Structure 1
Amino acid sequence: MKSTTILAALPCASLLLLSFSQIVAAQTEDIPSAEAGALPTNNHGHGHSSRPPHHGDQKPNFLVFLTDDQDRRINSLDYQPLVQKYLRNQGTEFTNYFTTTAMCCPSRVSLWSGQFAHNHNVTDESPPHGSYTKFVSQKLDQNWLPTWLQQAGYSNNYIGKFINGVSPTLKQAPKGFDTAHWEPLVAPNIYTFYDPVFSINNGPLTSYKGLYQTDVISDKSVEILDTLAKNTSQPFLFVISPTAPHDEVWITGNGTLFTPPVPAKRHEHLFKDVKIPRHPNFNPKHNDKPSWVGTLPRLTESQVSALDDKYRARLQSLQATDELVERIIKRLEHNNQLDNTYIVYTTDNGYHLGTHRMYAGKQTAYEEDTNIPFIIRGPGVAKGKKSNAVATHTHFPATVLHLANLPVPDSLDAHSIPVLENKAVYGKDQPTEAFSVEFWSQAFMENTTARFDANTYKSVRLIGQGYNLLYTVWCTGEKEYYDLVEDPFQIKNIYKSTKPAFLNRLDALLNVLRTCKGPTCRDPWAVIHPAKPSSSSSSSSADKGHGHGKEHKNSVRSLKDALNKKFDKYYAELPKFAFKECLHYYNPTNEETAPRHTEL
């Protein structure tokens, strides 16, 4: 394979938005009607009416490149010229795409199940609360995207990292994947770049000692594609999941050891002068964060230097993935499959390096850990575009089903992503405005022995026309709130200086999203402000309960609508959410709400 010439990184164009604090300051009785920010009424989780291009009798194929712990916020995509050439330039990049639990196992299960972690309950990397063991024991593979596609005639194929815990004794393919092409990486060699071990089609383990993992995956992927191309009548899903740019992970007598990712030898010389972008939140002087993050001292010069080295190693390790993308797309074209294939490039979760004084890792609600790459190209997808539509891994199953013209279960926690719309989709065209970010496990810094217990939290994330917000309730009782329009790097926690009337709206929304299921996740405002069951002039008991009668019908479908001053008393009386203690697993009984002040 040849080395690549790296293109100079260019910063993404900033989206100009009106500051939300300006909107709050200008509250009046004349709040825009629901028309200004309505969620489409839909019983199928689609969120929009555009249909995929006509494929005749042939269903589209889906090919997914799924990397491991790849950042978006510190520019790794800009160092992948082939991803830019074949995906960014030939497809649409979704800049407001998120994981809702910044840890490999929970994130990957949400990607395939369409459920938030509080519903699928895989909340950690290892048993008893996470890993492939927990996934299998809960039979989560009986009703998820691969089984739905298989029932529609798809051949589903996988190579690379699945989720942590695929082991020599627990290596069988989950339901929905074809055992003819199920080749997961197997522990303890999932994260060893020059000694990968695969389980071959539910059969023997095969070691490739001395061969570079991504190159092995590339060779195997070409063989699988050539086999799939022989059956022109059967559509396929094919997932290609190298572990780059994840650290190498070694199980030792003294515990788990993390070491920087290893590039292919042909890429070791690259990026010698590159450093982590020094954004305002990189090792900041001021630290006002809650819980364990607020206790962190500034990183030392030697720690910063080590992080720069690690950043370079991550970029170097992604170059083989970059080459893999080109090779696979050219193979699709050679096999006459490219024009009928949707190709996705994404990762399981983001990664912080030195932000907010944190060393290296994930597991927080901050942008570096949750805002992740998502690019898609294929039939009907706009080329060379960026979309600000809000989406998460939980949206992915509905999206695939929609593009395949297949039924979308109403039980899914998220709408499909509007991948076929060549326009900005804030406001009334936006299927999703708010979602939850949630976590229950310890935090740890890779390459260190540091562990932090008080890392259980739930957040509400809101993005719409004029606002971009993060509100978090921690298990310690602390809270934080950021206006990312004015403070995109989440430097200043403005919770204490924000009007209680506004925070009451965020508390109400979080209280719905933290336990939502299906339709209530897709439209949480309908829970807080339910529509009247009929157009009768008399108020129903539900309306009397809210005290708003006819004026309440269909009047609140977005945060802007909810800010109408006439709802101030109503929101002030709604219960507030809190944790009882800092547990390392999801237990609904550990979550409580303070009672309403008065009976509504």
Structure 2
Amino acid sequence: MSRSRLAAIALAMVAALAFAALGLRDIGAASGPSTKGAHLASDRGEGKPAPAAQKRPNVVFILTDDLDKSLMPYMPNTTRLIRDQGADFTNFYVEQSSCCPSRASILSGDYAHNHGVIGNTWPEGGYDRWKQTKQDDDLAVWLSKAGYRNAMLGKYFNEYPYHPGSHLSETRKARLREYVPPGWHSWASPVQGNAYAQDHYKLNVDGHVDHDFHTDYLDSWLGQRALDLVDGSDGFDFADGGQFIYYASYSPHTPYAYPRSLAGTFTDARYPRTPDFDEADTSDKFGLARQRALLTHHDVRTIDRTFRDRIRSVQTLDETVAKLVQALADQHALDNTYIIFTSDNGYHMGNHRREIGKYTQFQNDVAVPFYIRGPGIEPGSTIADVAGNIDIAPTIAQIAGARTPEVDGLSLLPRLHGGPPLQRKYYLIGRALTPSNATSANGLEEPTDPNSEPDRSSELNDFTGVTNGRYKLVRYTHLPHEELYDLNKDPFELHNLLADDAASYAAMTPAGRRAVDTLRAALDQLVDCAGVTCQ
């Protein structure tokens, strides 16, 4: 038996003893080793087989940009037609609450330390970094080899098709704007202009770049493109099966663009006043979270105004969801189609006194909606297993029967079809970008995404962490502190159980200290895990 396998078994035994003594949920250990190299994704896990069908299933994957759970009450079509007609994973995490690292995890099935995209800009992140690492062996390539027809609509990676500092000739830039990555049979992605504003952009459509800038609302254009594909454009045939659409909306990313017709709507909406909103006492937190003043009246007004803009920004997408479901039904393809809805990361607005942004370790940023409906999934299902964005690629690959390399994630399909709980018991979260990537205030804190509005930016600490759905342990990378939250008793993370560092740990019962040690061991294992050791 290998040394790593013995360590995993020992970790499991320690976890079971410690958490049993506390009456807590077992953290567990990594699952047993699997065969290295390529294998059928359908071989992952056990559970009820998908219902017998002559046609291969279709998959429609809908990815939002910076959407958090507070917006879901304002997306009735999405909740009614995807969540309520399928399954809701209530403990679904993104490892990195940042656009490019998360999208790389979605398309590769790997944590950031394995796919290598650890930021949004070159050289550590962005499109050119993805092109160097996993682009040639990602989900689209796996599905294409399995005979699927794949369409990409919308936001691919920041800095696609080349990063702004590239010293390229105009001829070379023009050719790169026409480039379509491997595995995609239909392609429509912005290559010039400001796609985030959604009213001034040029698109690469199947290798051809628009001559003029669009002025129509981008999400409306993308939605119509998706409907056209379902109706048979670009060689797609959903009635025959084996079709995949990756629809990556820019909504509701700043500047929270929306059609002019929605101006003046949702005027009574305000951001939820949950207990963590303008948190009364942050003395148990570390870094700038501890130092922040209470929100001002101006801050609160800005947050509510921004929340209304974000609500308006997702309305077109929510309408598109209803139209897509109807179009699939019209093609007699709905019962043979998996529809997935999620976000690349969450968002906070006033939570824990942080004004507006993302990137933190708190639930608002790292726990996102994940809904899926499709063949063999019981409508109205709620699944509390710990899952995350590294599981998306292996899940879709299993649906398609596609071969994959060994990845960090697990297929969720057996669980969705009534199988046993996932073998994984904990999930890695973190902040990959290091202070050397940007000028910081004091060498420990970093500025946020340069695309965000600077007057409301929040500086933050690098961290790694682990959660098992019940507990979350956060370890700061450049500060000698940890945070521990009991998410069952304290879902808004108001009480850090390690607020006094060593003194808090020493005050725990022996069983409590063993439980913390188990979380720490799990984190130590995950920060450099690969493949089966991540599971």
TM norm structure 2: 0.82
Bigger radius of gyration: 1
CA distance in 1, matches of 2:72, 2:368: 10
Match of residue 484, structure 2, among 481, 485, 505: 481
Tell me which of 51, 54, 77 is aligned to 2:52: 54
Q: CA deviation at 1:382?
A: 1.1
> Which position in structure 1 is the counterpart of 2:154?
160
Please, which of 241, 251, 261 is the counterpart of residue 244 of structure 1?
251
Q: Which amino acid aligns with 2:466?
A: V
Report 1:122-161 matches (<5 A). Answer: 122-138=117-133, 140-161=134-155
* Distance in 2 between residues matched to 1:517 and 1:488, nearest whole Å: 30
Extract unaligned runs of 5+ from structure 1: 1-22, 249-260, 523-600
* Structure 2 partner of 1:502: 515
Kindly provide the amino acid, as one letter, of the partner of residue 434 in structure 1: Y
Match of 1:432 among 424, 428, 433: 424
Cα deviation, residue 281, structure 1: 0.6
Task: Note closer, same or farther for the CA distance 1:208–1:334 as it changes in structure 2 (3 Å cut).
Answer: farther
Please tell me the root mean square deviation across aligned C-alpha atoms, in Å.
Answer: 2.7
What is the CA–CA distance in structure 1 between the aligned matches of 2:461 and 2:192, rounded to whole Å?
27
Change beyond 3 A, Cα 1:229–1:145:
closer
| Matched residue, 2:242 | 235
**In 1, distance between residues paired with 2:369 and 2:45?**
22
* Map of 2:466 onto structure 1: 460
1:453 Cα deviation from its structure 2 partner = 6.4
The answer to whether residue 534 in structure 2 is matched with residue 521 in structure 1 is yes
CA distance in 2, matches of 1:518, 1:125: 24
CA distance in 2, matches of 1:189, 1:284: 35
Distance in 1 (alpha carbons) for counterparts of 2:52 and 2:364: 38
8 Å contact kept, 2:47–2:417? no
Higher mean C-alpha deviation, range 183-192 or range 90-99: 183-192
Determine the structure 2 residue equivalent to 1:177.
184
SS of aligned partner of 2:533: helix
Query: Structure 1 counterpart of 2:427, which letter?
Result: F
Give structure 2 stretches of 5+ with no counterpart: 1-16, 163-172, 434-445
TM-score (norm: length of structure 1): 0.74
SS of equivalent residue, structure 2 residue 244: strand
Q: Please give the residue correspondences for 1:155-554 in structure 2 after superposition, counting only pairs within 5 Å.
A: 155-167=149-161, 169=173, 170-171=176-177, 172-178=179-185, 181-205=186-210, 207=212, 209-225=214-230, 226-227=232-233, 228-230=235-237, 233=240, 235-248=242-255, 261-287=256-282, 288-409=284-405, 411-418=406-413, 421=416, 429-441=421-433, 442-444=446-448, 446-449=452-455, 455-463=461-469, 467-495=470-498, 496=501, 497-498=504-505, 499=508, 500-522=513-535
User: Is contact 1:245–1:318 with CA below 8 Å preserved after alignment?
Assistant: yes
Name whichever of 295-304 and 445-454 sits farther off. Answer: 445-454
Distance 1:515 1:386 in 2: 31
CA distance in 1: counterparts of 2:431 and 2:196, whole angstroms: 24
For residue 409 of structure 2, give the secondary structure of its aligned residue in structure 1.
Answer: coil
Higher percent of residues as helix: 2
Q: Aligned partners of 1:102 and 1:479: how far apart in 2?
A: 19
Q: Deviations over 1:487-530 (max 9, x none)?
A: 110111111324343322222111110000001001xxxxxxxx
CA-to-aligned-CA distance 1:148-207 (integer Å, 9 cap, x gap):
1111101111111111111473442221112xx111122442202222321111222355
Q: Kindly indicate whether structure 1 or structure 2 has the higher relative contact order, using CA contacts under 8 Å at least 6 residues apart.
A: 2
Match of 2:422, as an amino acid? Q
Letter in 2 for 1:105: C
1:148 to 1:78, Cα distance in 2 relative to 1, 3 A: same
User: Is the 8 Å Cα contact of residues 92 and 367 (structure 2) preserved in structure 1?
Assistant: yes
Query: Which amino acid is 2:207 matched to?
Result: N
Distance 1:382-1:232 versus aligned 2 partners, 3 A rule: closer
Match runs of 1:14-93 below 5 Å: 27=21, 43=34, 46-56=44-54, 58-72=55-69, 74=70, 76-93=71-88
- Matching residue's letter, 1:435: Y
Taking structure 1 as reference, are residues 329 and 132 closer, same or farther at Cα in structure 2, changes over 3 Å only?
Answer: same
Whichever residue aligns with residue 463 of structure 2, its letter is Y
Identity of aligned residues (%): 28
Q: Check whether the contact 1:439–1:457 (CA below 8 A) recurs between aligned residues.
A: yes
